[in-house]
């Protein structure tokens, strides 16, 4: 067994949230290697993030691509086993709740390699979500559980996880936002390229199967957002996820004239749009966190969230995804509300904290 760290990632949120961990390892000459499962397989969903965040390319790319959940996890585990047997890391890091996370935890556990789960302890208490299953299994396999807030520490305590494995660190998204918003303000030209002014647009994103795989739900979200745009005289900027585009075409849903539909963006441009928006409407977990850090009001088009801190702050509201009237009314109330903004996700240098805790355990 070597003293190397393995970092397993596969989606753009993982690239973003692991960026400060990778950067700290690189700057401090900690031995590490990156395995990319390629769960997100299009360049504008993935490759651009490595470039913008100034990260080294992955040493290994499993090229898993698009397939069913079971086949994807199986392919990942086969590829991960080969790499982990070759590299023999002392610990592997996984981040969040994706299929990549579950495959990484299962492969490492099978090979008796220590597991560090970054963003541990999140719970939506909705086991119809694949992400919830991924979180629960990974937390039970992990040797080091790095929690964003005290809520996740409490969740793990209630589930009987050994408290000696649990560490309150904050969320690495704080590191990423603080690093990248400065770059966005200096370099991003997305506002000019779309002909936008500050606060004259609503930013909308949607990609979760619970929203986009249902014609009724997708229509509800679009209709509510259209109505908001008309009421407040705003445009709607809609970076369209490949899955969402596929389902819009399948359901033959016409995009309203108020919408500016664009391809998925890199992290720098996406942060810039969030910062300058009038309102955010999303089913993304990461954007819920970023909205708090950027002090932007956010309508969550889901029936539950594993990030209740965003709602507790008062700047986010849980609106569901099946009733356009409810989404519209809750959004209007949020727009009129005064928010005492507090960042619940930590004060930065979280990637550094995670590596230092892990190194002490070697």
Q: Do 105 and 198 have their domain in common?
A: no
pLDDT, tens digit (0-9, with 9 covering 90-100), for 153-164 = 999 999 999 999
Residue 1 has pLDDT above 60, yes or no: no
Task: Quote the percentage of the chain above a pLDDT of 90.
Answer: 91
207 an active-site residue? yes
Secondary structure of residue 357 in the 3-state scheme: helix
SS percent in the chain: helix, strand, coil, step 5 = 50, 15, 35
pLDDT, tens digit (0-9, with 9 covering 90-100), for 241-299 = 999 999 999 999 999 999 999 999 999 999 999 999 999 999 999 999 999 999 999 99
Read off the DSSP letter of residue 186: H
Q: Which of 40, 117, 207, 233 is catalytic?
A: 207
Q: What is the CATH number of the domain that holds 42?
A: 3.40.50.2000
Q: Do 190 and 114 have their domain in common?
A: no
pLDDT, tens digit (0-9, with 9 covering 90-100), for 166-180 = 999 999 999 999 999
Q: Do 331 and 269 have their domain in common?
A: yes
The pLDDT of residue 43 is 58
pLDDT, tens digit (0-9, with 9 covering 90-100), for 24-70 = 999 999 999 999 999 866 655 677 889 888 899 999 999 998 889 99
For residue 270, what are the domain limits? Answer: 180-336
Q: Do 208 and 254 have their domain in common?
A: yes
Q: At what angle do helices 69-87 and 99-110 cross, to 10 degrees?
A: 40
Q: Please, are residues 265 and 230 in contact by the beta-carbon 8 Å criterion?
A: no
The pLDDT of residue 240 is 95
pLDDT, tens digit (0-9, with 9 covering 90-100), for 127-150 = 999 999 999 999 999 999 999 999
pLDDT, tens digit (0-9, with 9 covering 90-100), for 71-129 = 999 999 999 999 999 999 999 999 999 999 999 999 999 999 999 999 999 999 999 99
Mention every residue, 6+ apart, whose C-beta is less than 8 A from residue 129. Answer: 210
The pLDDT of residue 42 is 61
Instruction: Give domain status of residue 24, yes or no.
Output: yes
Q: In a 10 Å sphere around its CB, with 0-12 CB exposed, 13-18 middle and 19+ buried, how is residue 67 labelled?
A: exposed
Contacts 24+ apart (CB under 8 A), 77-81: 77/103, 77/106, 77/107, 77/110, 79/37, 80/8, 80/35, 80/37, 80/104, 80/107, 80/108, 81/107, 81/110, 81/111
How far, in Å, CA of 16 to CA of 96, rounded? 11
The pLDDT of residue 361 is 83
Q: Do 89 and 119 have their domain in common?
A: yes
Q: Do 161 and 251 have their domain in common?
A: no
The pLDDT of residue 106 is 98
Domains: count for the chain: 2
Q: Do 241 and 189 have their domain in common?
A: yes
Q: Do 191 and 306 have their domain in common?
A: yes
Instruction: Give domain status of residue 287, yes or no.
Output: yes
Q: Do 159 and 185 have their domain in common?
A: no
Instruction: Give domain status of residue 12, yes or no.
Output: yes
Confidence of residue 209 (pLDDT cuts 50, 70, 90): very high
The pLDDT of residue 19 is 97
Instruction: Give domain status of residue 341, yes or no.
Output: no
- φ/ψ region of 73 (left if φ > 0, alpha if ψ in -120 to 50, else beta) reads alpha
Following DSSP, what letter does each residue of 258-272 receive, concatenated?
A: TEEEE----HHHHHH
Q: What is the dihedral of CA 35, 206, 245, 43, to 10 degrees?
A: -30
How far, in Å, CA of 95 to CA of 22, rounded? 12
Q: Which two tokens stand for residue 185?
A: 């303000």
Angle ∠(136,171,47) on CA atoms, nearest 5: 90
The pLDDT of residue 257 is 97
pLDDT, tens digit (0-9, with 9 covering 90-100), for 316-333 = 999 999 999 999 999 999
Q: Do 112 and 59 have their domain in common?
A: yes
The pLDDT of residue 66 is 81
CA separation, residue 38 to residues 9, 61, 76, 98, 121 (Å): 8, 7, 9, 12, 25
Mention every residue, 6+ apart, whose C-beta is less than 8 A from residue 269. Answer: 184, 188, 190
What phi and psi values does residue 51 have, to the nearest 5 degrees? -65, -50
Q: What is the pTM of this model?
A: 0.91
Task: Quote the percentage of the chain above a pLDDT of 70.
Answer: 98
């Amino acid at each position: 067994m070597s003293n190397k760290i393995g970092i397993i990632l596969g989606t753009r949120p993982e690239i973003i949230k692991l960026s400060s961990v990778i950067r700290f390892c690189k700057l401090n000459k900690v031995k590490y290697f990156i395995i990319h499962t390629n769960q997100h397989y299009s360049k504008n969903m993935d490759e651009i993030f490595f470039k913008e965040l100034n990260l080294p390319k992955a040493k290994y790319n499993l090229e898993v691509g698009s397939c069913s959940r079971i086949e994807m996890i199986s392919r990942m585990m086969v590829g991960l086993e080969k790499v982990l047997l070759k590299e023999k890391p002392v610990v592997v890091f996984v981040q969040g709740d994706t299929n990549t996370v579950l495959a990484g935890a299962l492969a490492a556990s099978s090979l008796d390699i220590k597991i560090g789960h970054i963003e541990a302890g999140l719970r939506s208490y909705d086991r119809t979500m694949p992400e919830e299953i991924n979180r629960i299994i990974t937390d039970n396999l992990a040797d080091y559980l790095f929690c964003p807030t005290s809520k996740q520490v409490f969740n793990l305590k209630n589930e009987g996880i050994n408290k000696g494995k649990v560490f309150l660190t904050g969320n690495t998204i704080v590191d990423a936002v603080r690093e990248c918003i400065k770059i966005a303000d200096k370099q991003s030209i997305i506002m000019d390229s779309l002909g936008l002014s500050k606060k004259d647009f609503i930013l909308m994103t949607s990609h979760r199967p619970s929203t986009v795989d249902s014609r009724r739900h997708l229509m509800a979200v679009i209709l509510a957002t259209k109505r908001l745009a008309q009421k407040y005289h705003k445009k709607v900027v809609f970076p369209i996820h490949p899955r969402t585009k596929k389902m819009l075409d399948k359901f033959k849903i016409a995009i309203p004239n108020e919408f500016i539909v664009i391809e998925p963006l890199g992290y720098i441009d996406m942060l810039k749009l969030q910062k300058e928006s009038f309102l955010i409407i999303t089913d993304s977990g990461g954007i819920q966190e970023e909205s708090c850090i950027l002090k932007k009001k956010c309508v969550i088009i889901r029936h539950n969230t594993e990030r209740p801190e965003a709602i507790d702050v008062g700047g986010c509201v849980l609106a569901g995804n099946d009733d356009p009237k409810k989404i519209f009314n809750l959004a209007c109330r949020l727009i009129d509300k005064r928010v005492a903004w507090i960042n619940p996700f930590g004060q930065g240098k979280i990637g550094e904290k995670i590596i230092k805790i892990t190194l002490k355990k070697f």
